[in-house]
Amino acid sequence: MSLKKLFENAVFNWVLITSIVIVMIITNGILAMKTIEDLSATQSSLYNTGDVIVELDDLHNLILMAETGQRGYLLTEIEEYLTPYQDALGRLNAQINDTKKLRSEVPGQTERIASLIQLVEQKVNELTKTVELALAEKEKRALKQVMTGRGRDLYRELRAEIEQIKTLEINYRNSLFTILSAVEREAKVTFIISGITSTLLLLGLAFFARLNAKSEVKHRLQLEQQNQVLADKVAMRTKELTIYSDELSRSNRELEDFAFVASHDLQEPLRKIRAFGDRLQTSYAPLLDEKGADYINRMRNAAERMSNLINDLLEFSRISTRGKPFVNVPLQEIVASTLEDLEISIDESKAELIVATLPAINADPSQMHHLFINLISNAIKFRQADVQPVVEINYCQEEITFEPWHIITVKDNGIGFEQEFADKIFVPFQRLHARTQYKGTGIGLAICRRIVERHGGKISATSVLGEGTVFRIAIPVNNALINLIGDNANA
């Protein structure tokens, strides 16, 4: 064979060997990269589903802490129980934001988590309203609200939702462990083949194969450590949940017993005062002197005020529970109807009403009527002496947090008040003036706030003493979902 032929054969062999080496290196590289990517993706998925489980447990624990503190305070009226309640509420907002950021890989979990967040927000609102009533010395109303069972039903729905989400995440995590085991087996086979071929073809590949093997062991150890941490956290949360559940059950039983007694006994004294007062005035009026008659009148007036307070409080409480479904409400017609109802007081005070063009909004018609009656009658009642009252109702639409809102303002030129009391006027039974100056129970503006809040909006007041007040009502244009949630909650 000629040298040329030998050279050509040698070149061909080297080219063939080099091609085989390159193909094997590329193949081994592709297999190794796929194994690493599978391991990394599986590890990331395990971290993610673990975070979902831990965040849900933290959210559940905070709700239980808040409810335990609420029940303890309502039962005992000891303010020390408010410490865990306030601490839990303070941490709940951050926890809710963290939960909203969760991105589960399980199909349908995003919708379930969104539904869970809505339940949590409803539960927080129920807890907050009850404690606010208790702090405002309305224990009876607070207990009555608790006895509706709404809080218990919300907690059951919330716990069921959490358990469903956790079960799906745990099942998904178990499937990830199965995938991880398969990936590990594939990785071992891949690296064995890579080691053998690399040893036969190129010693250098063996070095890189060993590095990959060490990296694999490192990842596996990290996964095992993370799994142990997650297992410890789950065990600790389970123990805490058991303790909180037992305490909550005991508090509920005691609170139900107390509310049953209070709801019957607290009504009787008022009925007796009014009944005996009427009997005294009817049967013994000729036997009483002027002072005695005055005492009876004062007693009957006090009983009447108490009756009005109870009725106003009942109306205040029914804003959410007895509200009608939202419909398309033309505010122009609502205001016109309101002015007809207030015709006598408007004529007596010679008030001037300036009403801008108002839109139709999605709302409860009767509550909108009640809202404008309270605001306009307040503007007329708290007028300045010897000054013609002027009430202006204006409307515009604004963008707030990238969403359109209805903005309605009611402006008057009345007596006004110091701006530092702007929040106090919306608190039930809070008065800035003596009862002898201006009649009323002090709950009208609190009802206004409840009505606006039921529509998903906010109400605020800006005032200057001696110059008048401007009430600003902001209601979201797209509040259909708020109405749907409220109706489901009342149901």
Instruction: Specify the pLDDT at position 396.
Output: 94
**C-alpha distances out from residue 26 to 21, 40, 375, Å:** 8, 21, 79
For all residues of the chain together, what is the average pLDDT?
Answer: 76
Sorting pLDDT into bands at 50, 70 and 90, what band is 423?
confident
Q: Is the pLDDT of residue 6 over 50?
A: no
The residue-averaged pLDDT of 415-440 equals 72
The DSSP bridge partners found for residue 408 are 395, 473
How high is the pLDDT of residue 54? 84
pLDDT value at position 5? Answer: 53
More confident residue, 143 or 20: 20
Q: In this predicted structure, what is the pLDDT of residue 323?
A: 66
Among the ranges given (191-200, 233-242, 345-354, 449-458), the one the predictor scored with the smallest mean pLDDT: 191-200
> Residue 460: what pLDDT?
93
Mean pLDDT value of segment 394-422:
90
Query: pLDDT digit string (tens) for 33-84?
Result: 777 777 777 777 777 888 888 888 888 888 888 778 777 776 777 777 778 7
Q: Is the pLDDT of residue 302 over 60?
A: yes
Of the candidates 11, 10, 15, 112, the residue with the CA atom closest to the CA atom of residue 56: 112
User: Do 369 and 332 form a contact (C-beta atoms < 8 A)?
Assistant: no
Q: Comparing C-alpha atoms, which of 405, 386, 385 is closest to residue 396? A: 405
Among 12-21, 40-49, 131-140, name the most confident range: 40-49
pLDDT given for residue 199 in this prediction = 74
Q: Measured between alpha carbons, how far is 168 from 49 in angstroms, rounded to an integer?
A: 10
Q: What is the pLDDT of residue 409?
A: 95
The C-alpha atoms of residue 316 and residue 311 are separated, in whole angstroms, by 8
- Which of these ranges, 2-6, 316-320, 392-396, has the smallest mean pLDDT? 2-6
- Mean pLDDT for 96-107 is 81
User: Of the given ranges (17-21, 102-106, 229-233, 482-486), which has the lowest mean pLDDT?
Assistant: 482-486
Query: For 311-369, what is each residue's pLDDT tens digit?
Result: 655 565 556 556 678 899 999 999 999 999 899 989 988 999 999 999 999 998 888 99
Q: Burial level of 462, CB count in 10 A (0-12/13-18/19+)?
A: middle
Average pLDDT for 164-171:
84
Residue 491 pLDDT greater than 80, yes or no: no
Spatial CA neighbour of 122 closest among 491, 485, 487, 456: 485
d(CA 281, CA 332): 48
Question: What is the model's pLDDT at position 395?
Answer: 95
Write down the pLDDT at residue 356: 94
- Higher-pLDDT residue of 10 and 230 is 230
Confidence band for 488, pLDDT divided at 50, 70 and 90: very low
Judge whether 134 and 71 are in contact, CB under 8 Å.
no
Q: For residues 146-170, give the mean pLDDT.
A: 78
The stretch 423-443 carries a mean pLDDT of 66
| In the chain, % of residues over pLDDT 70 | 71
Average pLDDT over residues 151-178: 82
* pLDDT for the residue 419: 86
pLDDT on residue 407: 95
Residue 154: predicted pLDDT: 77
Q: Residues 92, 121: contact at Cβ < 8 Å?
A: no
Stretch among 151-165, 238-252, 469-483 having the lowest mean pLDDT: 238-252
**∠ at Cα 252 (56, 233), nearest 5°?**
25
In this prediction, residues 410-427 reach a mean pLDDT of 87
pLDDT above 90: percentage of residues in the chain: 14
Q: What is the pLDDT of residue 264?
A: 44
Per-range mean pLDDT, top range of 15-29, 230-244, 249-263: 230-244
